[in-house]
């Protein structure tokens, strides 16, 4: 999607907003001038929809595989009773205080300003909107709009524990009980006579990070049982997101991890097998280091999460050209 297309979408959205404001005057329709303003507002909203862009997608195999996995993640998320965005930064230590959660709405249709031949999924939270297109994430915030390439998005799936004061979701997993008012060691704060025990729930957490803007979005999902399936889908998506879909090259960014990571990754991709025993035998390292390397390869999308009775799969084909790129801020 070009900059011209984004600017056109921005104008259509602005036209729709102005039309919505003017359409409010229909409430005061018993005054003819105000009635005309309201009708004009409705006409602007109609023109906004007429000006919507039409995009027909004809995806290649790898692009279709990427988008199918993204759609499957959204289909799984829709089965959860609740999805939130957490805006507190210290919720990992659930003994301190209850966090603030803002509901996230999932939509499965194209926005009014874009007509497509495929189903589009989106996340709506506060005043921001994220639409997941085959070529990237269309991000709408404030009065701006940007298309973020999937190669600039990092997704990590994990678990988190949150203390719940009010009613909990039906599909929530309660793992502990805590005092509503507690000391640092978790014991009850005796200054509060009405102190009570409240449940601590373990949730699925998906962290989305947009690299160029260092923006983060923490998505909390009440249904913890979705963890394994979403992790596997994210593993497939991650491996493709790092790939230039118009070539047979995979670019893997290196951070300040284990110095053996590149050699181990090439070895695993070449042999299409992975296990801690294999790494220990070939590199003479202990179990803990081998396990950390495996976890890092999973995070980079090189291998899949562990599955019972299946183990792990290597997601990168052995015949693919792999380039390891060190981040600029690292030595």
User: What crossing angle do the helices spanning 261-271 and 287-299 adopt, rounded to 10°?
Assistant: 70
pLDDT band at 279 (very low <50, low <70, confident <90, very high): very high
Q: Which two tokens stand for residue 131?
A: 């639409």
- 30-63 confidence digits (pLDDT tens): 667 777 777 777 787 787 778 777 888 888 877 7
Measured CA distances, 280 to 92, 207, 264, 271, 290 (Å): 33, 31, 11, 15, 6
**Rounded to an integer, what is the distance from CA 126 to the centroid of its chain?**
16
Whether the per-residue pLDDT at 101 is higher than 70: the answer is yes
Average pLDDT for the chain: 79
Whether the per-residue pLDDT at 90 is higher than 50: the answer is no
Check if the beta carbon of residue 70 is closer than 8 Å to that of residue 132: yes
Predicted TM-score (pTM) of this structure: 0.65
Return the pLDDT at 240: 61
Task: Give the C-alpha separation, 59 to 65, whole Å.
Answer: 9
Most confident of 110-119, 143-152, 164-173, 258-267: 258-267
- 167-193 confidence digits (pLDDT tens): 888 898 888 888 877 777 777 777 877
Residue of 156, 158, 153, 179 whose CA lies nearest to 92: 158
- CA-based R_g, the chain, Å: 24
Return the pLDDT at 91: 42
How many other C-beta atoms are found inside a 10 Å radius of the C-beta of residue 315?
Answer: 21
Biggest CA-to-CA distance, the chain: 85
Whether the per-residue pLDDT at 296 is higher than 50: the answer is yes
pLDDT band at 293 (very low <50, low <70, confident <90, very high): very high
Residue of 72, 22, 77 whose CA lies nearest to 46: 22
Where do the DSSP E strands lie in 211-278? Answer: 215-221, 249-254
């Amino acid at each position: 999607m070009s900059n011209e297309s984004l600017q056109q979408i921005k104008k259509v959205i602005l036209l729709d907003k102005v039309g919505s404001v003017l359409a409010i005057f229909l409430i005061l329709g018993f005054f003819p001038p105000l009635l005309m303003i309201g009708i004009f507002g409705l006409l602007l909203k109609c023109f906004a929809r007429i000006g919507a862009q039409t995009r027909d997608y004809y995806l290649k195999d790898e692009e279709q595989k990427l988008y199918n996995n993204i759609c499957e993640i959204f289909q799984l998320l829709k089965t959860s009773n609740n999805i939130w965005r957490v805006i507190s930064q210290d919720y990992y230590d659930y003994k301190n205080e209850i966090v603030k959660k803002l509901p996230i709405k999932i939509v499965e249709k194209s926005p009014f300003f874009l007509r497509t031949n495929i189903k589009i999924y989106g996340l709506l939270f506060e005043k921001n909107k994220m639409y997941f297109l085959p070529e990237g994430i269309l991000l709408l915030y404030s009065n701006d709009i940007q298309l973020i390439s999937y190669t600039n998005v990092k997704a990590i799936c994990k678990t988190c524990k949150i203390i719940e004061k009010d009613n909990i979701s039906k599909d929530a997993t309660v793992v502990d009980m805590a005092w509503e008012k507690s000391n640092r060691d978790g014991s009850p704060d005796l200054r509060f006579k009405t102190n009570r025990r409240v449940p601590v729930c373990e949730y699925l957490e998906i962290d989305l990070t947009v690299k160029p803007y260092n923006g983060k979005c923490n998505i909390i999902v009440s249904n913890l049982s979705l963890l394994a399936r979403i992790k596997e889908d994210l593993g497939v998506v991650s491996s493709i997101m790092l790939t230039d879909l118009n070539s047979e090259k995979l670019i893997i960014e290196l951070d300040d991890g284990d110095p053996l990571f590149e050699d181990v990754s090439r070895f695993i991709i070449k042999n299409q097998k992975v296990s801690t025993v294999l790494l220990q035998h070939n590199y003479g390292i202990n179990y803990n280091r081998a396990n950390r390397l495996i976890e890092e390869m999973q995070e980079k999308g090189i291998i899949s999460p562990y599955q019972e009775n299946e183990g792990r799969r290597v997601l990168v084909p052995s015949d693919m050209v792999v380039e390891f790129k060190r981040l600029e801020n690292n030595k």
